[in-house]
């Protein structure tokens, strides 16, 4: 088995593919862990319109105006892990992670509707954060809103739906995602241990006879060699390593609305609002921009790619580079780097519904979006990450499967991933993130997709982006219920 025996002997060189929150935090953890002090560390990421070292690309999932920072999870392991991360977000001194407008502890209202899967998640999450808060002596910061009237009363929107139940977690908040990444990049640069390479990885390089990955080839033909290759390419990972049945790229919708200074003033104390029965959420406005988004099953974007470029699941002679294996169809991101983002009508309608349901300013839901975006998740069946050695190939470790909830762990994720590399740290976490057997797949347009069933997703699985854009999809514009 490729998993090394203890005691762990660090490799002489590591190549990390991808500088999103998984890759960049891993680079930082390797660069600062004494046992890797003689390891050469290289980080490669796509460079589109930005200069060398300014990573990641702006269309990456880690890069956005905001990400929710919450310990509100139905799974207590993530509640504890998020609590550990949040201690760093709360450090707001000069140069610290949470300073410089990178973190705002606005609070978060989490709601659901009785009888839905989303509600189950809300209740479990409430139990977990309440327990955490009581242990920490701040139980009063988790406030229950036990009816629709209480929820809409709090929001100031007046009665709308019924059956709502929710709670306000006063110690959750949100981060300026792009600024957080810039801070982390700066920390990595300060170690002076990591060499940054700008370039798009075309494929891994492997030796089929030895069953070993030896590096990566870039689109310009150059090759980067390393004893250990860490693939952390987010939703693009499936184009480098065959992850069918394990991880699927799904597109999630975001819309931004420009508001006035007055409107912003009115909303200045609003918390993040997250409805787990619809997946809709709103981040409090900043710089006169309000963001509405949806955490749902998401869209698939089926693409045919040559199988010969993808590290196959098993080592075989066919796995020799350049072997004739035909094509494979997987879902891959389509971002602003590919074309101007457009949202399907059902998404626009849904995002407007979020504004109408959560924001007490009438008419705001009719205002045009100033910009739109599709954020690409790397979804796994359970929502657990993958941070493990490839089960068949030597010299390759995969760190992906963020499932739309990785960003908040920015200050601790890399350390945990390196623990998975060396076999240290919490066994619970290592076990959660290990390479699983292939799960149940749903075939949609030839894509063997997995569906995240962690209870946090709303809407309908298996929507295909192009079909929804053409108005021929399976969407139901109103009342998506998780």
Ligand X SMILES: *[C@@H]1O[C@H](CO)[C@@H](O)[C@H](O)[C@H]1NC(C)=O
* Site membership for ligand X, residue 111 (CB under 6 A): yes
Kindly write down the DSSP assignment for every residue of 218-263, as one continuous string. ETTS-EEE-SEEEE--GGGGGGTB--TTT-EEEEEEEEEEE--HHH
Grouping H, G, I as helix, E, B as strand and the rest as coil, residue 54 is: coil
DSSP 207-221: ETTTTEEEEEEETTS
Q: Quick one: which segment of 157-165, 285-293, 334-342, 372-380 binds ligand X (CB under 6 A)?
A: 157-165
Interface pick for ligand X out of 39, 57, 65, 275 (rule CB under 6 A): 275
Of the pair 119, 413, the CB lying nearest ligand X is at 119
Asked whether the beta carbons of 478 and 314 are under 8 A apart, the reply is no
Q: Hey, what are 97's tokens?
A: 């992670």
The answer to whether residue 323 forms part of the interface with ligand X (CB under 6 A) is: no
Nearer Cβ to ligand X, position 132 or 273?
Answer: 273
Instruction: In angstroms, give the least distance from the CB of 79 to ligand X.
Output: 22
Taking CB under 6 A as the criterion, the residue among 86, 277, 319, 400 binding ligand X is 277
As given in the structure block, the two tokens for residue 414 are 């890399």
Residue, CB closest to ligand X: 161
Q: Is 426 helix (H, G, I), strand (E, B) or coil?
A: coil
441 is an interface residue for ligand X by CB under 6 A? no
Residue 453 tokens read as: 């069933």
Report yes or no: 8 and 422 within 8 Å, Cβ to Cβ: yes
337-366: contacts with ligand X (CB under 6 A): 357
CB of 160 to ligand X, least distance (A): 6
| Distance from chain centroid for Cα 138 | 29
Residue range at the interface with ligand X (CB under 6 A); choices 22-30, 32-40, 256-264, 274-282: 274-282
Q: Which of 248, 252, 278, 400 binds ligand X (CB under 6 A)?
A: 278
The Cα 388–Cα 386 span in angstroms is 6
Q: Is 475 in the site for ligand X (CB under 6 A)?
A: no
Of 376, 417, 381, the C-alpha closest to 244 is 381
Dihedral (CA of 341, 118, 409, 297) sign? negative
Task: Candidates 24, 69, 113, 310: give the one binding ligand X (CB under 6 A).
Answer: 113
User: In the complex, what is the shortest distance from the CB of residue 116 to ligand X, in angstroms, rounded to a whole number?
Assistant: 7
- The number of residues that bind ligand X (CB under 6 A) is 13
Strand locations in 334-425, DSSP E? 371-379, 386-389, 396-400
Positions 160 through 189 that interact with ligand X (CB under 6 A)? 160-161, 164
In whole angstroms, the minimum distance from the beta carbon of 68 to ligand X comes to 16
Residues within the interface to ligand X (CB under 6 A): 111, 113, 151, 160-161, 164, 275, 277-278, 357, 479-481
């Amino acid at each position: 088995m490729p998993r090394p025996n203890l005691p762990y002997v660090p490799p002489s060189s590591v190549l990390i593919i991808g500088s999103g929150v998984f890759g960049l935090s891993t680079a930082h953890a390797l660069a600062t862990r004494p046992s890797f002090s003689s390891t050469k560390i290289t980080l490669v990421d796509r460079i589109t319109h930005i200069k060398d070292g300014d990573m990641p690309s702006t269309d990456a999932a880690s890069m956005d105006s905001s990400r929710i920072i919450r310990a509100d999870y139905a799974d207590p392991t993530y509640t504890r892990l998020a609590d550990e991360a949040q201690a760093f977000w709360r450090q707001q001194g000069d140069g610290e992670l949470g300073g410089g407008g990178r973190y705002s502890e606005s609070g978060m209202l989490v709601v659901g509707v009785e009888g839905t899967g989303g509600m189950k998640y809300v209740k479990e999450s409430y139990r977990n954060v309440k327990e955490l808060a009581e242990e920490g002596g701040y139980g009063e910061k988790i406030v229950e809103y036990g009816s629709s009237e209480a929820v809409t009363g709090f929001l100031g929107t007046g009665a709308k739906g019924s059956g709502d139940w929710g709670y306000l977690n006063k110690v959750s908040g949100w981060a300026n995602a792009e600024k957080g990444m810039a801070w982390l990049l700066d920390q990595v640069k300060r170690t002076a241990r990591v060499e940054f390479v700008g370039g798009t990885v075309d494929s891994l390089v492997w030796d089929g006879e030895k069953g070993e990955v030896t590096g990566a080839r870039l689109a310009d033909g150059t090759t980067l060699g390393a004893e250990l290759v860490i693939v952390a390419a987010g939703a693009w990972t499936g184009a480098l390593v065959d992850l069918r049945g394990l991880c699927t790229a799904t597109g999630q919708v975001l819309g931004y609305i420009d508001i006035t200074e007055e409107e912003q003033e009115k909303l200045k104390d609003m918390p993040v609002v997250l409805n787990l029965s619809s997946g809709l959420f709103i981040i409090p406005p900043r710089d006169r921009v309000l963001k509405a988004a949806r955490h749902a099953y998401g869209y698939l974007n089926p693409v045919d790619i040559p199988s010969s470029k993808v590290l196959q699941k098993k080592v075989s002679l066919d796995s020799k580079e350049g072997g004739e294996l035909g094509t494979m169809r997987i879902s891959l991101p389509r971002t602003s780097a590919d074309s101007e983002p457009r949202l399907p009508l059902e998404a626009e309608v849904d995002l407007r519904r979020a504004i109408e349901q959560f924001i007490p300013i009438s008419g705001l839901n009719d205002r045009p979006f100033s910009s739109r975006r599709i954020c690409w998740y790397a979804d796994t069946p359970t929502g657990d990450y993958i941070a493990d050695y490839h089960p068949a190939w030597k010299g390759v470790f995969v760190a992906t499967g963020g499932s739309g909830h990785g960003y908040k762990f920015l200050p601790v994720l890399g350390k945990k991933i390196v623990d998975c590399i060396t076999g240290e740290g919490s066994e619970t976490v290592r076990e959660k993130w290990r390479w699983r057997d292939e799960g149940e797949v749903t075939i949609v347009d030839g894509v063997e997709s997995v569906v995240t069933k962690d209870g946090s997703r709303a809407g309908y699985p298996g929507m295909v982006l192009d079909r929804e854009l053409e108005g021929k999809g399976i969407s139901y514009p109103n009342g998506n219920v998780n």
